[in-house]
Amino acid sequence: MLQVRNLFVGYGDATAIWDISLEVAEGTIVTVIGPNGAGKSTMINAIAGILPSRSGNVQMLGTDLSNVPSYQYCDHGIAIIPEGRRLFVGMTVEENLEMGCYRLAARELRDESLRDVYQRFPILNQKRNQLAGELSGGQQQMVAIGRALMARPRLMLFDEPSLGLAPLIVNNVFDIIRDIRLEGVSVLLVEQNVRQSMNIADSAYVLEHGHIVASGEPSELLAQDHIQKAYLGL
């Protein structure tokens, strides 16, 4: 479904992502784990077209996205839930959700999509006219996920969705991601929460200092010495 080939991304003279290749097969959850500053957001923002890449390319369902502007990525089935959620805090829950379906094809399905999101997250239905900035962290994450779902994506890119949330709410977010995959949407999940993201993933990559240093099945990676020491504190 998604193929990233030999991607290099940087800021000014500095290169933050070096020669990254990865793949998300249809209907799977792929996770990329890595510490603070490893380049996770840089990578995912480049895949989402928000940041330009220096070289390499991203293909979605066989289409090269190199010359596709970022606002058209949703037409190719890609939606991102950015780090820190990036909601419009002064707008209502429903207005935020509607920002997810601004493209014509998605706008035609607005009512149906909104109904689906409210069915998935009944609390958002109750709070539809409340300002997004007044919601709890977990509820704000639901708005960010709901906003992405409004575009009816085939692939969702999650940038550290568990960040800053209480443990119980984190469990809830991982359950939501699992449900989304069961419904046929593929997922690329960038996380520092190694245990839980490995637990729901079909395959995983380890990103350190802008390089992929390991990849494979989560169970294999979790058995490696380096992963146990650096990420699991064993």
Ligand X SMILES: Nc1ncnc2c1ncn2[C@@H]1O[C@H](COP(=O)(O)OP(=O)(O)OP(=O)(O)O)[C@@H](O)[C@H]1O
Site residues for ligand X per CB under 6 A: 11, 16, 34, 36-42, 83, 192
Position 173, amino acid: V
- Measured from the CB atom, is 16 or 114 closer to ligand X? 16
37 binds, among ligand X, Mg ion, none (CB under 5 to 8 A by kind): ligand X
Q: Is residue 41 within the footprint of Mg ion (CB under 5 A)?
A: yes
What is the nearest approach in angstroms of ligand X to the Cβ of residue 52? 12
Query: CA-to-CA distance for 40 and 210, rounded, in angstroms?
Result: 8
Query: CA-to-CA distance for 96 and 88, rounded, in angstroms?
Result: 6
185 binds, among ligand X, Mg ion, none (CB under 5 to 8 A by kind): none
- Measured from the CB atom, is 146 or 161 closer to ligand X? 161
19 binds, among ligand X, Mg ion, none (CB under 5 to 8 A by kind): none
38 binds, among ligand X, Mg ion, none (CB under 5 to 8 A by kind): ligand X
Give the bridge partners for 158, in sequence order: 81, 189
H-assigned helices in the chain = 40-47, 93-98, 104-107, 110-120, 122-126, 137-149, 167-182, 194-200, 218-222, 225-231
Options 36-44, 115-123, 172-180, 221-229: segment touching Mg ion (CB under 5 A): 36-44
Residue 40 and residue 160 in contact, taking contact as beta carbons nearer than 8 Å: yes
42 binds, among Mg ion, ligand X, none (CB under 5 to 8 A by kind): ligand X
Residue 5 and residue 163 in contact, taking contact as beta carbons nearer than 8 Å: no
What is the nearest approach in angstroms of ligand X to the Cβ of residue 83? 6
Query: CA-to-CA distance for 227 and 234, rounded, in angstroms?
Result: 9
- Measured from the CB atom, is 38 or 106 closer to ligand X? 38
Q: What angle do CA 7, 8, 12 make, to 5 degrees?
A: 155
Question: Nearest residue to Mg ion, using CB?
Answer: 41
Binding site for Mg ion (CB under 5 A): 40-41, 83
